[in-house]
Amino acid sequence: MGKLEGFLEAIPNPHTKLLFEDVITKLKFTGERVQKFKDWIENANRAYDMKLLDARTNQYDKAEELISFYTFAPLELIKDKKELIQEILSLVDVNVSIEEEIKLAFERQFAPPEGYLEWLKNKVAEHPIKYIREQGKKHVEEGKPLETNTHIDVVLESKNLLILIEMKFTSDISTQTTFNTNRNQLARMIDVGISEIENKAKNKKLIILLCSPSEFYEKKSRLFYYKVQEYSDFNKIKQDIEWRKLEEIDQHLLKVAWLPIEKLIRIIYRNFKSPEMDDAISFFKERKLA
């Protein structure tokens, strides 16, 4: 073993602590999810041994789930969230009073709308890939749904608002699901959000926020830039969610907008007091987000 290699192996990993474990406990994260976070952190190569500079070892560097959690976790520790949420919404020109308590959730699952699943049973026969058409036919015969649950990174919910947030670091939105070649991720979020309101709370308004580093939006290098711009026109949303009526979208959807992660961090952390504050800011600085 050379002197340099021995030195690198002796350097302790400074990022071995999972932050905001009190929030994890409060929101009852599964043990599997907590272990996933800890594995990312403990396996991160902070000695920069060239043998370990690979994507799998350093998932910690780019894990959007962890970025989402660290960005929004302080909200759960802040007593009055309303003022902060209203400030965040003002960045996208939404000025609405938030009624009653705001609930925060991470990685919440939303079932696909029943009406969409029925519509897709006929549409899958038009899929251009033969084996997928056959798979779809078999799913229908066996009573299996043609779309799985949608995972939403961050959910903020009050009596009158349902805010669904998708966090992107360097990735883009997905452009299809297995049985629908034209089912992009933003359209899917809108669809399941409307369904949630229709089924459980008809008085809520839906807001969809796509959050990413400023660079990727400003340089227009990701598909989500174009879809967010396009979805200011609800007729364009209707084209991507064919099975819904425009009236349903108009009734329930308030806004689709983009927000820079950097601004979110500044607002949420501005007056936040915590012993873990420095570690959290170091995490964001390492990713050029603070």
The per-residue pLDDT for range 194-205, each reduced to its tens digit, is 999 999 877 899
The helix (H) or strand (E) run that includes residue 200 is helix 185-200
Domains detected in the chain: 1-61 (no CATH), 80-114+148-286 (3.40.1350)
pLDDT digits (tens, 9 = 90+) for 130-152: 999 999 999 999 999 999 999 99
Q: How buried is residue 181: exposed, middle or buried, by Cβ count under 10 Å (0-12/13-18/19+)? A: middle
Distance, in Å, from the CA atom of 191 to the CA atom of 116, rounded to the nearest integer, reads 9
Pair 267, 75: CB distance under 8 Å: no
Half-sphere exposure of 38 (CA within 13 A, CB side): 10
The pLDDT assigned to 138 comes to 96
CA 149, chain centre distance (Å)? 14
Coil, strand or helix at 113: coil
pLDDT digits (tens, 9 = 90+) for 6-29: 433 434 445 468 999 999 999 999
Pair 218, 232: CB distance under 8 Å: no
